[in-house]
Amino acid sequence: MKDFRKSTVYQIYPKSFCDTNKDGLGDLRGVISKIDYIKELGVDYIWLTPFFVSPQNDNGYDVADYYNIDPGYGTMEDVEELIAEADKRGIGLMFDMVFNHVSTEHEWFRKAMAGDSYYKDFFIFRKGKDNGEPPTNWESKFGGNAWEYVEKFDEYYLHLFDVSQADLNWENENVRREIQKILKFWMEKGVKGFRFDVINLISKACYEDDDIGDGRRFYTDGPKIHQYLKEMHDTTFGQADGFVTVGEMSSTTIDNCYQYAGRDTGELSMVFSFHHLKVDFMGNEKWVLVPADFQKLKDIIFEWQTKMAEHNAWNAVFWCNHDQPRVVSRFGDEGRYWKESAKMLGTIIHCLRGTPYVYQGEELGMTNTDFTDISQFKDVESLNHYQILQDKGLSASDALRIIQIHSRDNGRTPMQWDASQYAGFTSEDSKKPWIAVNSNHEKINAADQLKDEDSIFHYYQKLIALRKDSEESDVIAYGDVEPLAQKDPSVFAYRRTYEGHELIVTANFYEKEYQWKGAPDLNGFRKVLGNYEETEIAEDGTMKLKPYEAAVWYR
Ligand code: TEU
Ligand code: CA
């Protein structure tokens, strides 16, 4: 059985991965066709984002039927074949389960709207205020108020995300039973893991105005969240040996995560938390331009690393997913040091304590979009906020600049397989891809990198192998974590220790060459991996770090 602490997960956003029937949309057969590429990278699991029946207002996070495949992605036979092909190669599939909300096209919501009270209680309907305002001042994560008026009932329903994503009422036991049924259905198909979308938002404490915020404090890590997770665990995947689960935790606290992902707490295997990816926000406000705060980045990562370990809890470690800008554009360099910086960032993540997640194209150093016009963006969140920013008085070009930096579409352009017109995402005689291919695919693509021993792809391959099956695996998977030079303005470094062995990661986070006076004594260490051949260490122990230089040391 796989040990998830030695595993790496590869995330696929099928819509942007590979299109096999020339309709411009990635599909499941596309994933099947690339399974050997994924095997070559060396990962143990594939997390597939939702491909269930959906109107696609939020690219499948608005599920209309959990038991069937959206025709745009393929068929049930394709899913079964994919599970089998992955299994043959020792790769487990993790499906993405969205249970905070369903699409308003889901049968449950349609029945609710038809007045069926059994199904109406699957959702959160409330009367407005006497003054004609919505029930509370809570804000949708995609902009605007979180309640939608339904004239027929003279009531509003809650949607923490898009208006077409109605929140489920987890207080209702029938809702929870339906969810258990769905999970069991997919477990029987041979799925090896689940990722649970915004799962810490399912328990709402109350429905009151938030005088100091957007309402999130009333539904984040709510009062019954642990009870719901335990129940889900006990009735479904908790009974399956070696099943792996990860909860996406929105604005969570570390104290709750000890419980969500504790070794014996009976909830989940691990959590995604996002605090380290808000260091270029202003507080919780993402739609601003502020430089990334490196000190804060380190402080957050190290706090989570050390405290989760102390509490015997487990974390996912990652820079990228389908909601995030590309890390090489965000914290690295798209230009001269593109390759070095991509490898440096990979090194930092992959030697931490936790399960690393690689998002499609990250292993190639794919960058943010090169979109120059708002019409090129597709994401509902970006389009809403483009409007909201202008309503606040920003010019169209200033609003566009913010969207270019923060848009989720940065992570959603087609996978760059080769240098052909559509980057090999689809064939040249296909319909146009649903979202434009980045023109840098001539320089950044899988075909070239597979041939180049020194590529980012091969570097990621080595990082993944290191954790899985090497002399260093145990210390990477099980070792303690000690931050090094935490206050240093340029260096990201840490030490892992396990049963008398030590592993040290040293990294220059910036382009500027850096003389690191406080470098650890590396006598007796062997350099395991790095993005430069030689590391210069002066007589007095000063490490002369080259632009974005990173290395892994072991003894
Ligand atoms: O995302 C949850 C979430 O709150 C954020 O990532 C959000 O998408 C955005 O970045 C806030 O600025 C999950 C999914 O990963 C995302 O794709 C879905 O849109 C969302 O839930 C709703 O299901
Ligand atoms: Ca297709």
pLDDT in tens, the chain (555 residues): 789 999 999 999 999 999 999 999 999 999 999 999 999 999 999 999 999 999 999 999 999 999 999 999 999 999 999 999 999 999 999 999 999 999 999 999 999 999 999 999 999 999 999 999 999 999 999 999 999 999 999 999 999 999 999 999 999 999 999 999 999 999 999 999 999 999 999 999 999 999 999 999 999 999 999 999 999 999 999 999 999 999 999 999 999 999 999 999 999 999 999 999 999 999 999 999 999 999 999 999 999 999 999 999 999 999 999 999 999 999 999 999 999 999 999 999 999 999 999 999 999 999 999 999 999 999 999 999 999 999 999 999 999 999 999 999 999 999 999 999 999 999 999 999 999 999 999 999 999 999 999 999 999 999 999 999 999 999 999 999 999 999 999 999 999 999 999 999 999 999 999 999 999 999 999 999 999 999 999 999 999 999 999 999 999
Residue 15 makes CB contacts below 8 A (sequence gap 6+) with 25, 26, 59, 60, 72, 73, 412, 434
Q: Which residues contact 343 (CB under 8 A, 6 or more apart)?
A: 456, 459, 531, 548, 550
Q: How far apart are CA 8 and CA 4, in angstroms?
A: 8
338 lies in the same domain as 461: yes
Atom of ligand 1 nearest to the CA of 274: 6
Query: Given 421, 450, 469, which residue is the final one in a domain?
Result: 469
Going by CA atoms, what residue is nearest to atom 20 of ligand 1?
Answer: 61
Pairing state of beta strands 45-48 and 92-97? parallel
Nearest CA to ligand 1 atom 1: 198
CA of 73 to the centre of ligand 2 (A): 6
So what's the pLDDT on residue 253?
A: 98
Spell out the SS3 assignment of 383-422.
HHHHHHHHHCCCCHHHHHHHHHHHCHHHHCCCCCCCCCCC
| Ligand 1 centre distance from Cα of residue 162 (Å) | 10
The ligand with the least distance to the CA atom of 20 is 2
Its ipTM equals: 0.95
- The structure tokens listed for 538 are 């002066």
Count the alpha carbons within 13 Å of 302 in the hemisphere toward its beta carbon: 17
Same domain, 207 and 240: yes
Ligand 1 atom showing the smallest separation from residue 322 Cα: 17
Residue of 103, 159, 323 to test ligand 1 pocket, by largest number of atoms within 8 Å of CB: 323
Q: What is the three-class DSSP state of 83?
A: helix
- C-alpha torsion angle, residues 277, 283, 284, 287 (rounded to 10): -90
- Nearest-CA neighbor of 424 among 10, 14, 26? 26
Same domain, 451 and 351: yes
Of ligand 1's listed atoms, the one at least distance from the Cα of 101 is 23
85 is catalytic: no
| pLDDT given at position 1 | 76
Q: 202 and 68, same structural domain?
A: no
Q: Whose CA is nearest to atom 9 of ligand 1?
A: 323
Judge whether 270 lies within some domain. Answer: yes
Q: Would you say residue 434 lies in a domain? A: yes
Nearest ligand 1 atom to the CA of 380 is: 19
DSSP structure class, residue 16: G
Q: What's the whole-model pTM score?
A: 0.98
What's the rounded Cα separation, in Å, for the pair 345 and 9? 17
Which ligand is in closest contact with the Cα of 31?
2
State which of 56, 161, 379 you would mutate to test the pocket of ligand 1, scoring each by most atoms of that ligand within 8 A of its C-beta: 161
Query: 55: helix, coil or strand?
Result: coil
Structure tokens at 8: 């790496």
- Tell me how far the alpha carbon of residue 20 lies from the centroid of ligand 1, in angstroms: 27
Q: Is residue 474 part of a domain?
A: no
User: Do 303 and 358 lie in a common domain?
Assistant: no
Which mutation among 102, 197, 281 tests ligand 1's pocket best, with the greatest number of atoms within 8 A of CB? 197
Instruction: Region of 497 please: left (phi>0), alpha (psi -120 to 50) or beta.
Output: beta
Instruction: Give residue 323 CA to ligand 1 midpoint distance, Å.
Output: 6
Rounded to 10°, the helix 173-188/225-235 angle is 40
**Measuring from atom 17 of ligand 1, which residue has the nearest CA?**
323
Ligand nearest to the CA of 160: 1
Q: Which atom from ligand 1 is nearest to the alpha carbon of 98?
A: 23
Q: Whose CA is nearest to atom 6 of ligand 1?
A: 323
| 146 and 23 both lie in a single domain | no
Q: How many CB atoms lie within 10 A of CB 135?
A: 21
Task: Among 129, 145, 166, identify where a domain stops.
Answer: 166
Please state the three-class secondary structure of 318-366 as a single string. CCCCCCCCCHHHHCCCCCCCHHHHHHHHHHHHHCCCCEEEEECCHHHCC
Q: Indicate whether 178 and 295 sit together in one domain.
A: yes
Residue nearest atom 10 of ligand 1, based on CA coordinates = 323
At 87, list the tokens: 């299994």
Nearest CA to ligand 1 atom 23: 61
State whether 489 and 524 are in the same domain.
yes
The answer to whether position 186 is within a domain reads yes
Active site residue 398: no
| CATH code of the domain containing 536 | 2.60.40.1180
**416 alpha-carbon distance from chain centroid:** 19
- Is 334 contained in some domain? yes
Look at residues 352, 358, 311 and name the one whose alpha carbon lies nearest to residue 461. Answer: 358
Examine the domain organization and report whether 29 and 115 are in the same domain. Answer: no
Q: Which amino acid is at 152?
A: K
Phi, psi dihedral angles at 455 (to 5 degrees): -75, 165
- Alpha carbon dihedral 54, 381, 327, 248, in 10-degree steps, equals -60
Pocket probe mutation, ligand 1, options 138, 198, 330, max atoms within 8 Å of Cβ: 198
For the chain, the domain total comes to: 5
- Kindly name the residue from 197, 323, 334, 488 that is annotated as catalytic: 197
Ligand 2 centre from 426 Cα, in Å?
8
Q: 424 and 300 in one domain?
A: no
Domain presence at residue 12: yes
Using the mean position of ligand 2's atoms as its centre, give its distance from the Cα of residue 433 in Å: 9
> For residue 425, which ligand has an atom nearest its CA?
2
Counting ligands in written order, the one closest to the CA of 407 is 1
Q: What CATH number does residue 432 fall under?
A: 3.20.20.80
- Cα separation, 340 vs 226, in Å, equals 42
User: Is position 344 within any domain?
Assistant: yes
Q: From atom 5 of ligand 1, which residue's Cα is the shortest distance away?
A: 323
Range of the domain at 402: 375-406
Residue 521 gets which letter from DSSP? Answer: P
Exposure string of 54-85, with b = 16+ CB inside 10 Å and e = fewer, is bebbbbbbbbbebeebbebbbeeebbebbbeb
Domain-embedded: residue 82: yes
Alpha carbons 59 and 135: distance in angstroms, whole number:
28
Q: 7: CA distance to ligand 2 center in Å?
A: 30
Cα of 166 vs centre of ligand 2, distance in Å, is 28
Contact (Cβ atoms closer than 8 angstroms) between residue 414 and residue 16: yes
Quote the tokens at residue 73: 């992605």
CATH number, domain with residue 120:
3.90.400.10
Q: Which of 271, 307, 259, 332 is nearest to 483 (CA)?
A: 307
Catalytic one of 248, 267, 334, 340 = 248
- Ligand 1: list residues with CB < 6 Å: 58, 61, 98, 141, 161, 197-198, 248, 250, 286, 322-323, 381
Instruction: Report how many helices (DSSP H) and strands (DSSP E) the chain contains, helices first.
Output: 17, 23
Name every residue whose Cβ is closer than 8 Å to that of residue 192 and which is 6 or more positions away in sequence: 45, 92, 93, 94, 242, 243, 244
Between 338-350 and 456-468, two packed helices, what is the crossing angle to 10 degrees? 10
Question: What is the H or E stretch that residue 480 is in?
Answer: strand 480-484
Closest among 415, 396, 403, 361 to 379, alpha carbons compared: 403
Same domain, 292 and 179: yes
**φ, ψ (nearest 5 deg) of residue 67:** -100, -5
Rounded distance from Cα 192 to ligand 2 centre (Å): 25
Q: Is the same domain home to 435 and 396? A: no
User: Which of these three, 124, 140, 166, is where a domain ends?
Assistant: 166
Query: Hey, whose CA ends up nearest to atom 2 of ligand 1?
Result: 198
Closest CA to 195 of 359, 48, 325: 48
Shortest CA distance to 146 belongs to which of 106, 65, 201? Answer: 201
